Amino acid sequence: MPSGSCACRHIRYTASVQPSRLVNCHCVECRKQSGAPYLAFVDFPTDAVNWDIKPTEWRFSETASRFFCPRCGSTVMMTLDCEPSSVGIAVGTLDDDGSVQVPPPTSHIFLKEKASWFQLPDDGAKRFQGWTE
């Protein structure tokens, strides 16, 4: 079953199911927080993820929280108040040991905030200017 951690391995988790979709978010906050052109999340049911130590919450808007390791700063998770039954795990935190099956990219979202210098790959994923349109 899938497992993962932050860069320093302080924050660790395991999941009891495989992730359901892969969403690439191009919003400014995802770019800034990750230090990358965009942030890729895989979705898991909230109760399917078990944390050895919970990551630190950054309440970054009235509707969403981001979670990171307090030691190394790695982005680990994002949650939305409107979807309490699922969490977005930063896909790069997954251990790539053959136990996880990451689906092909489902969508690119918040393309209205995409970095102008970044060229989207022709990967067949759906494209949205905001969340879903």
According to the binding rule CB under 5 A, does residue 17 interact with Zn ion? no
CA dist., res. 51 & res. 93, Å (int): 13
Residue from 117, 112, 85, 116 nearest 25 by CA: 112
Binder of Zn ion out of 40, 69, 77, 89 (CB under 5 A): 69
Interacting positions 96-115 with Zn ion (CB under 5 A): none
Cβ neighbourhood burial of 113 (10 Å; 0-12, 13-18, 19+): middle
Binder of Zn ion out of 6, 40, 42, 91 (CB under 5 A): 6
Residue type (1 letter), 95: D
According to the binding rule CB under 5 A, does residue 53 interact with Zn ion? no
Backbone angles phi and psi of 12, in degrees to 5: -135, 150
Site string for Zn ion, 23-42 (x = CB under 5 A): --x-x--x------------
Count of residues near Zn ion by CB under 5 A: 9
Residue 69: CB minimum distance to Zn ion, A: 3
According to the binding rule CB under 5 A, does residue 72 interact with Zn ion? yes
Q: Which residues contact 50 (CB under 8 A, 6 or more apart)?
A: 13, 14, 15, 16
According to the binding rule CB under 5 A, does residue 12 interact with Zn ion? no
Binding site for Zn ion (CB under 5 A): 6, 8, 10, 25, 27, 30, 69, 71-72
